[in-house]
Amino acid sequence: MTCCSVPRGNRTGSPAIKSTSTHHEYSLEPHKDMARIPGGTFLMGTNQSESNDIDAEGPIREVMIDPFYIDYIATTNNSFNKFIRETKYVTEAEKFGWSFVFHLLIPKEKRSFYDQSPAEAPWWKKVEGANWKHPEGPGSKINLRMHHPAVHISWNDAMEYCNWSRKRLPSEAEWEFAARGGLIQKIYPWGDELVPLATHMCNIWQGTFPDENTEDDGFIGTAPSKHYKPNNFGLYNMVGNIWEWQSNWYSRSNVSKTPQKNPKGPSHGTSKSIRGGSYLCHDSYCNRYRVAARSSNTPDSSTGNLGFRCASD
C-alpha cells in the first residue's frame, strides 16, 4: 500500500460479487479505440536512484511481449455509464455504501462531516455515498466529467467491465511495454525530464502535499482521459491522473533476473497490482508517476484516483 492508494480495510460482511455482465453491441469491433502494440523485447523495471526498492521495481530484466491491443485512454465515465445502463451492475463502492475521497476535493462546508481516515493516510476520508457517479460524495456529479476516467472502481468492478466488453486487464509487463512507447529505459513515457521546456506532460501534484496544490498542470483532481500529449504508441495519460488496475497479483519477490516471455505474475495473492500513479503523486512522498513504478491494492478497494484501461489479445 502507498500513501496515495489505500485499501478498504479488514471487515466482515463483504458483498458477494456475482457476474452480471453480458456482451454488448460493440463486440463486432473488439479493437475499436485501441492501439495495436507490436510486441517485442524490452528492458523492464529500473535500477535508477528514483526507484522504490520496497516495490521491487528492479532489477532490470529482459522481457518478451507478444503483440496485443490496449485502450488509447483510461475507461471514461461515459464508457462506464454505457456498461452500467446495459448490465445494471452495481459497483462495490455502491454496495459498501462508501469510498475514499481526497480531503481537498470534498466541499469545504462538508469536510467536518467526514472524520474517518486511515491512520497512515489522513488525507483520505471515508465518505458515505461516494462512488463512480458521485466522486466526492452526495451532491457531486459527473455530468461535466463524462470524458474523465471513471474512478472509485475496484478490481472486481473493472473485471466485470472487461467481461462485458470482451476485453481484459493488461499484465504489468504489457502495461509497462506500452507505457514506454518504444523508448529504452526512460523515466517517463516521453523521456527523462518531468517538465520538458516548461510543458506539463501529466497530471500530478504541484505544491506542498497534502494541503496545497497550485494546479500548475491545470487540475486538482482528474483530467480528461484524452489529455496532454500521447506517447509514441498514441496512448494518453499512462502516468499521472489515475492509478490503473492490472491483471497481476502483486508480489515483491516474483522478479526474475532471467529473460521472460509474457510474464503474468504470481498465481495467487492478496492484492492486485496498480500502475501509473495519479493526480496525488508528488516527489516529496510518492514519485510513482514513472513507467517502472508500481503499487497495489486489494481487489475490493476503491478510491477517487483508482480506475483502469482495458487490453485485448
pLDDT of residue 286: 84
35-312 CATH fold = paralog of FGE (formylglycine-generating enzyme) (3.90.1580)
Q: How confident is the model at residue 24 (pLDDT cuts 50, 70, 90)?
A: very low
How far apart are alpha carbons 60 and 24 in whole angstroms?
Answer: 40
Record the pTM. 0.93
Is residue 116's pLDDT more than 90?
yes
Model confidence pLDDT, tens digit, residues 100-113: 999 999 999 999 99
Is residue 54's pLDDT more than 60?
yes
The mean pLDDT value for 160-187 works out to: 97
pLDDT of residue 23: 46
Cis previous bond, 210, omega within 30:
yes
Chain center to CA of 149: 9
Q: What is the mean pLDDT of the chain?
A: 92
Is residue 1's pLDDT more than 70?
no
pLDDT of residue 19: 46
Identify the DSSP state of 271. Answer: S
Q: How many CB atoms lie within 10 A of CB 168?
A: 17
Q: Which of 5-9, 87-91, 198-202, 307-311 comes out lowest in average pLDDT? A: 5-9
Model confidence pLDDT, tens digit, residues 206-262: 999 999 999 999 999 999 999 999 999 999 999 999 999 999 999 988 677 778 999
Identify the DSSP state of 172. Answer: H
Is residue 25's pLDDT more than 80?
no
Pick the closest to residue 298 from 193, 157, 131 (CA basis): 157
pLDDT of residue 285: 81
Question: Where do the domains of the chain lie?
Answer: 35-312
